[in-house]
Structure 1
Amino acid sequence: MRDRLSRALLVLFCAVSATHLVALAASIGWLDLVTKTLLMPSLAGWAATRRAPGLLVAGLLLSWLGDVALQFDGLFILGMGFFAAAHVCYVTLFVRRGAAAVMRGRWGFVAAYCVVWLGLVAVMWSGLGDLRVAVALYSLLLTATATLSVGLGPVVGLGGALFFVSDALLALRLADLPRPPGADLLVMITYLAAQWLIADGVTASRPALPPTADDDRVTTVDG
């Protein structure tokens, strides 16, 4: 029963994702809005049926709240706050799974992400206005997610990198800086791929370190 539900939710996520991207490319506003509200709940439901860590499910649901908030004028800071909370969940989960210990031997990745983060903040700073501090702090959390994701393997690492790319493209728009053609569509493609890769990679892997007693998880993940 659980396997059938898991497959159904995965099919739903894929179908809604494809429909959302088509709606976005065709500028079908109402369909864009409706499908966006279904994306992360379907992925979170799939993750839950796979006995995913509670912090992963929480991160996906907080991302959903962020998606919804960002659809409304005047709720940008709230939406950013939800996504910041999602990244706190991801960072905490990655650390508890031993990613920080793994990254002690991969300083090249750490240095590269830090340099890119500092460069982006410097380039965007003058165009962010009152959002400067909020964007800098949020992007630091995003960078922590991307960096630590490398410690959980190539699948989660790619997910973290795509999340970084997606939000960097959004930040360029905030700072009124040039973006590549079709940037809004690219934002969603990289975002959806990022969330899927993180969810799939985490649920398919075992912790690099033994779980702590206070590990907020649904149950032990099957390898």
Structure 2
Amino acid sequence: MIKSINIKLLLVLLSIVFAFDLVFIAIDRSSWRFLSKPLLLPIMIWFYFTYSKQDVFRINQWFLSGLILSFFGDVFLLFGWGFMPGLGSFLLAHICYIVYFFKIRKKNVWIWITVVLLYLGSFIYYIYPYLNEMKIPVVIYGITIATMLYFSINTRSLLLVIGAILFVLSDSVLAINMFVQHTIGKELVVMITYVLAQLMLVLGVVDVEKKNRIIQ
């Protein structure tokens, strides 16, 4: 009962902080986001610890590492100089997610490689002329997140797949917003899809833990 209340309170807290962050984006007060954005992933991590049936020492280390690295990515991206460290943090986070998905995979669904590669190729073809000196880092990141999406499909977990798709959508819009044309509307889409992606991944991981009762 107490645990159920704590879970609901954490979701309410996450919703409040998230709402403030979106408002700060909408009114173009990026400096105010230092008060909101760095809180999102710690609340998500707290939610994961609370919602999971595993004890602290059996929490999945790969997935938890991905969440922690995402937190650092969020913080770095708040600074004007922080794009490359932020990109690196999220790149490592996705590698952690890939390892976790690989460990819990059910069956390789090879046909989806074609779909994922088609999207990746189309997106890279579209954005490549705008990247200038960022071509190599962005292409590497794109390949990594596409790999993350493919391995999420192999887990046969709907929540994990939805989370991965939202993550790909968020990063795609972020790239367009940064390198093609910046608008506040796209920035809002980036943040909404990003937070929902992380939340779906947390819910998906907990669902896998509950079904398997073990950490792979």
Output the TM-score relative to the length of structure 1.
0.84
2:82 counterpart of 1:75: yes
Cα offset for 1:199? Answer: 0.7
Distance in 1 (alpha carbons) for counterparts of 2:190 and 2:26: 12
- Does structure 2 conserve the Cα–Cα contact (< 8 Å) formed by 1:156 and 1:201? yes
Residue-pair matches, total: 207
Cα offset for 1:5? Answer: 4.1
Distance in 2 (alpha carbons) for counterparts of 1:17 and 1:149: 25
Taking only aligned residues, the RMSD between alpha carbons, in angstroms, comes to 2.3
Alignment gaps of 5+ in structure 2: none
Alignment gaps of 5+ in structure 1: 211-218
Q: Deviations over 1:3-44 (max 9, x none)?
A: 554443333222211221122122233432211010011101
Cα offset for 1:162? Answer: 0.7
| Structure number having the greater helix percentage | 2
Distance in 1 (alpha carbons) for counterparts of 2:30 and 2:185: 16
Query: In the alignment, residue 23 of structure 1 is paired with which amino acid?
Result: F
Query: In the alignment, residue 115 of structure 1 is paired with which amino acid?
Result: L
Distance in 1 (alpha carbons) for counterparts of 2:8 and 2:61: 20
Mapping for residues 166-205 of structure 1, pairs under 5 Å: 166-176=170-180, 178=181, 182-205=185-208
Mapping for residues 1-223 of structure 1, pairs under 5 Å: 3-49=4-50, 50=52, 51=54, 52-98=59-105, 101-102=106-107, 104=108, 106-152=109-155, 153-176=157-180, 178=181, 182-206=185-209, 220=214
Output the TM-score relative to the length of structure 2.
0.86
Cα offset for 1:151? Answer: 2.5
1:214 is aligned to none
The change in CA–CA distance for 1:93 and 1:190 in structure 2 (over 3 A counts) is same
- Does structure 2 conserve the Cα–Cα contact (< 8 Å) formed by 1:128 and 1:175? yes
Identity %: 27
